[in-house]
Amino acid sequence: MQLFAPHFSFPKRIAYLAVGIGVFLAAYYVGASIPMTEDDANELATQFQEQVQDIDMAGIFINNAKASLGMFVPGFGAGLGIYTAVSTGMVFNAFAISYPQELGGMSPLAVLATPFGALEIFAYGLAMSRSGMLVYQLAKRVPWREYALPTVIEVGIVIVVLIIGAASEFQIIAEP
């Protein structure tokens, strides 16, 4: 059994990954561009701060893992990824409006250039792209044995990447 089925060679897999990352980034940027009032922004920023106020590394990982594992579901997963990206972009926008001195003029994509941001984008792009590939494979009635192992490997990669990302993010947000 090949690791990559003939209709998904390694270069095609990389292309799907790039599309998944691109779709996530575009959806994030759309979310960050949604206009909101200062009151709405303050409310959203406050709600987010309350949700993550006592978060630890395990909490960061679990939050990201729940989202990314859902993104593997054929078809639905890509939609979940888009929703997650738009929501995350809206949170950035809320903070940019609520804290213009600190975040004014900062590109919404800059936060994704952090080590944990890059790892999360990779993980989400991988999961979303596998969701699209699974839709294709199910529609073509490809035997499950051809895509089961690559899917399990990618789930494992996403979990490892998100553990590293959660450790990195916690190191940055933890108080000394």
Q: Can you tell me which residue has the tokens 């980034």?
A: 25
Better-predicted residue by pLDDT, 85 or 7? 85
The predicted structure's pLDDT at residue 148: 87
Task: Kindly give the residue spans of alpha helices, DSSP state H, lying in the chain.
Answer: 10-33, 38-52, 57-70, 76-98, 100-103, 115-139, 144-173
Q: What is the pLDDT of residues 82-132, one digit of tens each?
A: 999 999 999 999 999 999 888 878 888 888 889 999 999 999 999 999 999
End-to-end CA distance of the chain: 50
HSE-CB at 109 with a 13 A cutoff on CA atoms is 8
Decide if pLDDT at 3 tops 80.
no
- Give the C-alpha separation, 2 to 6, whole Å: 8
Q: What is the pLDDT of residues 129-165, one digit of tens each?
A: 999 999 988 888 988 888 888 899 999 999 999 999 9
Among 28, 115, 131, smallest CA distance to 75 is for 131
The predicted structure's pLDDT at residue 10: 82
Question: Could you give the percent of the chain with pLDDT greater than 90?
Answer: 69
Decide if pLDDT at 4 tops 60.
no
Element (H, E) at 105: none
- pLDDT tier for residue 7 given thresholds of 50, 70 and 90: low
DSSP 56: -
- Give the C-alpha separation, 53 to 39, whole Å: 21
Side chain identity at residue 149, one-letter code: L
Q: What is the pLDDT of residues 60-74, one digit of tens each?
A: 999 999 999 999 999
Which residues lie below 8 Å from residue 148, measured CB to CB, with a gap of 6+?
none
pTM: 0.90
